Structure 1
Amino acid sequence: MSTNFKTLLRRLARYRLFTALNVLGLAIGIAACWVIYTLVSYEFSFEKDLPQRDRTYRLVTGFIFDEKESYNGGVSAPMYQGIREQVRGIDRVVPVFGKWMNTAKVERAGAEPLIVEEPKFTVEVDTNYFAMVPYKWLAGDVQSAFNTPSNVVLTESRARSYFGSIDPQQYIGKTIIYNDTLPKRVAGIVKDIEWSTEFKAQEFYPMQSKVYELGAWTNTNGSDKVYLQLSPDADTAKVLAHITAVATKKWNEFEQEKKPTWSMKRWFELLPIKESHFSTYIKEYDTRKASKTVLYGLMALGGFLLILACINYINLSTALVPQRSKEIGVRKVLGSGRLALIRQVFSETMVTVVLAIILAFLLTKLAFLLLKDIIPEGTVEYSNPWGLVLFLAPLLLLVTILSGWYPAWLIAKVQPVSIMRGQAMSSTGNSRQVLRKVLIIFQFVIAQVFIIGALIMGSQLSYTMKKDMGFDKEAVLLVDVPWKILRNEKFETKHFTLAEELKKEAGISAVSLGTKPMSSGYSSSMYEYRGEDAGKEPIKRQVFRKSVDTSYISLYKMQLLAGRNLHASDTTREFVINETAVNAFGFQSPQDALGKFIGQENQKYPIVGVVKDFHMLDFHTTIDPVALMANKDNLNSINIKLNTTDPAKWQETIKRIEKKWAALYPPGTFAYKFYDQELEAMYKEERNFSMLINLATVIAIVISCLGLFGLAIITSFQRTKEIGIRKVLGASVSGIVRILSSDFIRLVLIALVIASPIAWWAMNKWLSDFAYRVQISWWMFAVTGLLAVIIALVTVGFHAVKAAVANPVKSLRNE
């Protein structure tokens, strides 16, 4: 180890408090950047290894219902055939249709058969799929595997889950029985895709050509996806126009033949495959999307935290200059030039940054462990060694330059005589002090923006759970009857029996069968109301439907504004609608709506009651027209109202419910959840983002306090003689502390003035996604300012008190 390097380490060890604070501050900032870099690079890695990615598109469908735009990730099933036959400029049309299976059964020698309930990621494809997605075939080949509909192709991981770990060739020929009666022969094994992709399928069934009915061209199923690989010289606009023409032609044929009374506003879009992962406006089952806006926000967040860490290093390094005055003066007197001193500072900075990166590596591992529940699955496992090198190397250089330039310039600037007199800092002029204060203000601007953001996000999430939703969700237990049980003739009516039995149980105040009021899923239909004027066009509105029984309204304590509750019925015979539906169909009042008939052609029913509006979807969405109706076939959810709000008594009641269930249904099928927990789960994404903002707020505050700590040391050193004179003239300790602290409070308040409009703008943008939102109030900014002042006082208080109680004789001594 060279002498210079040993000397450098010795200097860092001598000022170990400052070194530790510098390393910690930089490590926190670098770790935050590291975590964000890993997360962002993972999200942007989707489909990067897909061949011909720039020419690959998904065909998606757009709709307009009630003047509201929505998108579906699927298309009408026959579309792929029409595109293949009639549209030019496309090299490959790839249908990927979800194929739902009830069970998959595998016989095992000397053991019970393996039965997998509802295997996930099962699709119907043809050979074009494997031409588009580059799977490696471990056994079998695409042609032989898809020459008969009785075959199935498995990924290596799925094959192991069914048959155990054996040689891939030994899987070939084995049989899987689907839905108890459908045998399929394993004809191929492919290696699992190792890169980030939306192609998650694990079982592939050969797609068979079929002739679709004309009505199939008007239906859209989100699980029926079509991918297109365009020719190199294809014009996407022309291709899309031809696809639209194919669909329009079929719709015209449907209109002429079926003469529907409804119309459809539908269009298609070519979604580039590289943008598919970010298409958050398309709601798709079992598919996680990422928001580019959020990712760019996280990148900005990481950049701000890194800049805060660099500013913190600058402030702490300049704070150390007075204590190093003799060392710097001696080096200058002995002939050290400006370049030598600058090299020394940059060398110290680089070593500090390297130590910080090592500590940041450990902090990153800890962060991923603590954040595993809120970061996307696959992020931690994502590996990109060269990308990490390209991230860390420039980061090392960037942080070294950003953190070292000012301390290096400052040390090189001052004169030896001033340094030896202990006037190192004063010799640099007031402009340098202003720069340090500007940096502190910048730090606290960022910190206070985060604090305000955290307060507003927390208020909004609390609002979503505490606002009156139009129904009572407290102490409501939900028990869904699995559809498999409902379809079994042996059990198809048992839930009615169970509901009646539960009504007799102690601890239960009410039981109702029906679709829960607020959920992420829904069913809707276009209903119309034709008034007394037969020649007038009917009013048509999209209405959300909920099947309920006669106990539903009372269990959820919904307010009946007019009319009565539904009468018991096995089928729909009447409606209870909400206030929004009253307005949507043009009725003058809830009473005016009573007795009017709404519905579809030849299926119109009277309105017998009107309930007060309640939230049916999350707070991002406005309240829409809703119709409650009786429909025995759709009553598969049991809503149980417990008669106490004391959680200690709930478990005893739940055990009795489970016992009742076990008397009617197969073992192991009972599952329950509290309604308020389900509602909280609907805001998982917002809650996770709020947690990240809270974490960033803590980091920003910690780093800002470290910077303030450095500035307090500088100020105490610069004003040593002033403090001594004030004490000699009779100033009290509290008075001196107040004088020293007032400067820092002023900086914090200036930061609040700058941060407030920035935070107001940013949080208004975030809140704009909510149809129902909190109002940004003055108290949020006042609380932030008060909190920042308290943090500043705590941070600088130690040095202020230390300076105030120092012996004035030592303060005034001139060496």
Structure 2
Amino acid sequence: MIRSYFKTGWRNLLRSKLHSTLNIVGLTFGIVCFLLIGLYVFDELTFDQHHVNAERIYRVVEHKDVRGEATIIAAAGYKLAEESKHSIPEVETTTRMIRTGRANLVDPENPVPFQETVTIADEHFLEIFDFPLIEGDRRTALKEPASIIINEDLALRIFGRTDVMGKSLQFSHLPFPLKITGILKEHPRNSSFNFSSVMSESSFYNADFFKETMTSDWASNGFTVYALLRPHSNPDSVSKKMTRLVLSNFTPETGTKFSYRLQPLKDLHLKSANIFDGARNTNVESIPQGNPLYITIFSFTALFVLLIAAINYTNLTTARASSRVKEIGVRKVIGAMRSNLIGQFLFESWLTTAIAFVVAIGVVHVVLPLFNQFANKQLSLFSVDYHFWIYALAAIVVIGFLSGSYSALLLSRLKPVSLLKGLKLQSTGALSVRTGLVVFQFTISVVMIIGTLVLLLQVRYLNHTDLGFNKDLMVVIDVNTGKARSNFETIKDQMSKIASVKNVSVTSRVPGEWKSLRTVKVRSEGSTDELGISYLFGTDKDFMKTFEVTLLRGRNFREAYDSSSIIVNETAARMLNITEASEQTVEIPALSRGGSFETLDVPFKPRVIGIVKDFHFQSLRDKIQPLILAYNHNPIHVIDYYSVRIAPVDIPGTLNKLKAIMVSNDVDDPFEYHFLDDQLALFYVEDARRQTLLGWAALATIFIACLGLFGLATYSTEQRVKEIGVRKVLGASVVGLVSLLSRDFLKLVLIANGIAFPIAWWATNRWLQEYAYHIEVGWWVFVLAGALAMGIALLTISYQAITTAIANPVNSLRSE
């Protein structure tokens, strides 16, 4: 029976090459989109799942409330990690991590400095995580003091090869060399960890500051702690036990409450939006945070594209059904049962889907390298987890069934006598189903067109809106050593003498900062108001001129005279109830380096000398927050950048001169720079990728929908051939006939627009709420999307309509 189904199905595919090609092309487009988006979504959902015990690994997260001020920090104390595995039966083991500041990592035999951020971890790190070692013993690699493991990339950069086991490295934060005890394989792209080196925690056990940490640190935010729980343990129960363990050994300050919870490793990528990584154990600059909303959007997009391809198959098959009625009648007369006919049509559907699936795999294999480059992924069809193929094949089988079931049920129920008389399929119910499917297709297509347009406009807004400062032609140079900081006046003076340099400023952070920002608690001196929270930048007197920030009231800094002066933005002025900058004294008693606040030994009491216009110093996803600009000689934050505004002439030459100045003042400090506008664009690079991905999916959707519309137009004109012949004989014009044939289809697209507009309005406005600053969706977006859908639909059906309208009526009326 299967053999018979295959022969008949194959012959039908070959007999109607145009129909078969349209079906295969439509399904191929749908499956290609489904596979590409599916790979992207699967990759996002399987972040960090390559570890064998991933289901049992949890990150310890602290929930702290200080007098109503709530923070969530992915950090904990040394003793919590150490004692949990001894005091809590469900905890099999734990590991601690610290991330150092950037410093030089040097091969003593070839002292070329490389600026690196080294991770410090205890000996259990490689027991919990399955980061593969190319060389080295994972049980002992991080056990001995002065040990370090590095990845392939770092080994190649420093030594030019990877066989460097046993060699020494000098880290500028340490007085002793580090022995390389392991070579790490490069991390997979879908990992929340991207360190290039890990140093043994035992390297610090003899240091006085670490000895104190080992004996008394119960509640700091100095470590990121991961716990491996025993099988079938309840993480909520373990969280409560951890909280009780800490509180039994540590008494928090009055008004402070805290507790711990365990965050599953698999949730780190997609569910950490409100969690601050206080110990900075991942390189947040290069691992974009996942967004569950986009995962949902893309998942539904993939399914809708595949479903639209199935609807397209149904419409095209039904349009061709009239040519097979006699075949079905003969089969019924010679004894074919309805179940045999249903099986035949379903098998043909699966055969067509299987061919499209094979073609789609070939297409995806060809385009995947470009897709990976665009999406910043390492996706592969042939190394992906087998679960992906199970889901994909299940979806293809279901789509094949849905594609063929309607036409199978429709054609198999007709009586043989009617079929052999040459019945034309004019069932009102069948027609209404087909038109309904076309409306559904175009509804989804119009929603996706509107979504793509809105995302395009929002990304354009993010990249081109006025930020309140000038980001163009701004070179930002990292300051990595004390020499470059202490000698900054000389360096600034040398830079200013370069003809193509307009202005130079030194700051602790820059607008659009990608690193953690320092925050302080502040209020007007003598005020009984609650302490407010403000961000703080250390700046110099040239900051406003260099960044072109507007001073609204008061004055700018003046040399060392203003070491205890500050300038605030409008938002901070409102928080402090300051309308004029008249040297009011404010009190700053506490600061935060990214985690919880710590009290200053001596409160900082600066004078407010100026108010600047609000500018966006963070992503446009965030509302402008209070900001304090403190003079560079302040007790909160030292300088970390040189910001140089240059002229648009001989930029490479200018960069070489800037590099020469930096190297001459500190030969050990490599010249690291970037252009500020490029760095700011990285905030929205994921939005741009998603906009492009959604745009291509929308194009595929509208293309497939048009194939379905073409099928319906073919079916409809086939039924009306004699009517058109009569009308032409009676004097109807070609234009009038084309209008007659097109009118009904354009009504379907109009109905689809009416359904799509409110859905798209709700969905896009909900998505835009992610951004504190966003576009307003104008009426013209809906008009444009609707007009595009109408235009594309008209082009699709015009060929069939014109061909029928200009045909010789004699051919259609000859049998009458």
Give me the TM-score of the superposition, normalised by structure 2.
0.86
Separation in 2, partners of 1:162, 1:398: 53
CA contact (8 A) 1:577 1:628 kept: yes
Q: Which residue of 1 aligns with 2:480?
A: 483
Residues 749-781 of structure 1: CA distance to partner in whole angstroms, max 9, x if unpaired? Answer: 111121122222222221111111222232222
CA contact (8 A) 2:113 2:670 kept: no
Please tell me whether residue 56 in structure 1 is matched to residue 57 in structure 2: yes
Which amino acid is 2:146 matched to? S
Map 1:226-241; keep pairs closer than 5 Å: 226-231=225-230, 236-241=235-240
SS state at 1:683 partner: helix
Please tell me whether residue 132 in structure 1 is matched to residue 128 in structure 2: yes
Q: Which residue of 1 aligns with 2:44?
A: 43
Distance verdict in 2 for CA 1:236–1:190, change over 3 Å: same
Q: Which residue of 2 aligns with 1:552?
A: 543
Q: Which residue of 2 aligns with 1:523?
A: 517
SS state at 1:372 partner: helix
Deviation at 1:433, TM superposition (A): 0.1
Map 1:536-615; keep pairs closer than 5 Å: 537-569=528-560, 572-587=563-578, 590-591=579-580, 595-600=584-589, 602-615=603-616
Separation in 2, partners of 1:592, 1:662: 41
The answer to which of 211-220 and 442-451 deviates more is 211-220
Distance verdict in 2 for CA 1:163–1:670, change over 3 Å: closer
Which amino acid is 2:125 matched to? Y
Separation in 2, partners of 1:141, 1:5: 57
Please tell me whether residue 273 in structure 1 is matched to residue 269 in structure 2: no
The answer to which of 184-193 and 657-666 deviates more is 184-193
Deviation at 1:217, TM superposition (A): 5.7
Distance verdict in 2 for CA 1:723–1:143, change over 3 Å: closer
Distance verdict in 2 for CA 1:382–1:217, change over 3 Å: farther
CA contact (8 A) 1:28 1:360 kept: yes
Equivalent residues, number: 780
Please tell me whether residue 800 in structure 1 is matched to residue 801 in structure 2: yes
Q: Which residue of 2 aligns with 1:301?
A: 301
Residues 579-628 of structure 1: CA distance to partner in whole angstroms, max 9, x if unpaired? Answer: 111111233xx226653434335321111111121112111111111111
CA contact (8 A) 1:322 1:717 kept: no
Deviation at 1:29, TM superposition (A): 1.1
Q: Which residue of 2 aligns with 1:448?
A: 446
Deviation at 1:142, TM superposition (A): 5.8
Separation in 2, partners of 1:238, 1:357: 47
Distance verdict in 2 for CA 1:629–1:106, change over 3 Å: closer
Deviation at 1:251, TM superposition (A): 6.2
Map 1:602-681; keep pairs closer than 5 Å: 602-631=603-632, 634-642=638-646, 650-662=648-660, 665=663, 670=671, 672-681=673-682
Which amino acid is 1:350 matched to? W
The answer to which of 194-203 and 795-804 deviates more is 194-203
Distance verdict in 2 for CA 1:410–1:651, change over 3 Å: farther
Q: Which residue of 2 aligns with 1:780?
A: 781
CA contact (8 A) 1:540 1:585 kept: no
Please tell me whether residue 184 in structure 1 is matched to residue 178 in structure 2: yes
Structure 1: runs of 5 or more not aligned: 257-262, 644-649
Q: Which residue of 2 aligns with 1:402?
A: 402
The answer to which of 138-147 and 205-214 deviates more is 138-147
Separation in 2, partners of 1:161, 1:191: 14
Distance verdict in 2 for CA 1:592–1:498, change over 3 Å: closer
Which amino acid is 1:320 matched to? R
Separation in 1, partners of 2:333, 2:90: 78
Give me the TM-score of the superposition, normalised by structure 1.
0.86
Residues 14-61 of structure 1: CA distance to partner in whole angstroms, max 9, x if unpaired? Answer: 211111111111111112221233233333334445455444321123
Map 1:451-462; keep pairs closer than 5 Å: 451-462=449-460
The answer to which of 98-107 and 559-568 deviates more is 98-107
CA contact (8 A) 1:95 1:226 kept: yes
Deviation at 1:181, TM superposition (A): 5.1
SS state at 2:616 partner: coil
Residues 143-177 of structure 1: CA distance to partner in whole angstroms, max 9, x if unpaired? Answer: 655553133455678767777878x8xx6644334
Q: Which residue of 1 aligns with 2:592?
A: none
Q: Which residue of 1 aligns with 2:413?
A: 413
Separation in 1, partners of 2:523, 2:101: 37
Residues 398-444 of structure 1: CA distance to partner in whole angstroms, max 9, x if unpaired? Answer: 12211111122233233455445554222xx1010000000001101
Please tell me whether residue 225 in structure 1 is matched to residue 224 in structure 2: yes
CA contact (8 A) 1:418 1:424 kept: no
CA contact (8 A) 1:598 1:606 kept: no
Q: Which residue of 2 aligns with 1:647?
A: none
CA contact (8 A) 1:563 1:610 kept: yes
Which amino acid is 2:768 matched to? L
Residues 63-122 of structure 1: CA distance to partner in whole angstroms, max 9, x if unpaired? Answer: 568977553322244542454576565332321233567344446xxxx737561346x4
SS state at 2:786 partner: helix
Separation in 2, partners of 1:118, 1:704: 53
Please tell me whether residue 742 in structure 1 is matched to residue 743 in structure 2: yes
Deviation at 1:336, TM superposition (A): 4.8
CA contact (8 A) 1:59 1:227 kept: yes
Which amino acid is 2:519 matched to? S
Separation in 1, partners of 2:793, 2:232: 63
Map 1:82-101; keep pairs closer than 5 Å: 83=84, 89-99=90-100
Which amino acid is 1:691 matched to? T
Separation in 1, partners of 2:651, 2:375: 36
Residues 510-543 of structure 1: CA distance to partner in whole angstroms, max 9, x if unpaired? Answer: 4433343223335333233245xx5x52441111
Separation in 2, partners of 1:106, 1:576: 44
Separation in 2, partners of 1:283, 1:660: 35
SS state at 1:496 partner: helix
SS state at 2:606 partner: strand
CA contact (8 A) 2:51 2:130 kept: yes
The answer to which of 729-738 and 340-349 deviates more is 340-349
Structure 2: runs of 5 or more not aligned: 590-601
Separation in 1, partners of 2:59, 2:539: 38
Q: Which residue of 2 aligns with 1:754?
A: 755
Separation in 1, partners of 2:94, 2:654: 55
Distance verdict in 2 for CA 1:24–1:41, change over 3 Å: same
Distance verdict in 2 for CA 1:780–1:192, change over 3 Å: closer
Which amino acid is 1:656 matched to? T
Distance verdict in 2 for CA 1:419–1:395, change over 3 Å: same
Map 1:248-267; keep pairs closer than 5 Å: 248=247, 252=251, 266-267=258-259
Q: Which residue of 1 aligns with 2:719?
A: 718
SS state at 1:277 partner: coil
Deviation at 1:448, TM superposition (A): 0.8
SS state at 1:616 partner: coil
Q: Which residue of 1 aligns with 2:72?
A: 71
Map 1:2-17; keep pairs closer than 5 Å: 5-17=6-18
Residues 710-769 of structure 1: CA distance to partner in whole angstroms, max 9, x if unpaired? Answer: 011011111222222222222221111112111111111111121122222222221111
CA contact (8 A) 2:136 2:182 kept: yes
Separation in 1, partners of 2:234, 2:805: 76
Separation in 2, partners of 1:187, 1:510: 47
Distance verdict in 2 for CA 1:631–1:482, change over 3 Å: closer
Distance verdict in 2 for CA 1:384–1:77, change over 3 Å: same
SS state at 1:212 partner: helix
Separation in 2, partners of 1:377, 1:71: 29
Distance verdict in 2 for CA 1:116–1:267, change over 3 Å: farther
SS state at 1:523 partner: coil
Distance verdict in 2 for CA 1:488–1:460, change over 3 Å: closer
Q: Which residue of 2 aligns with 1:814?
A: 815
CA contact (8 A) 2:479 2:485 kept: no
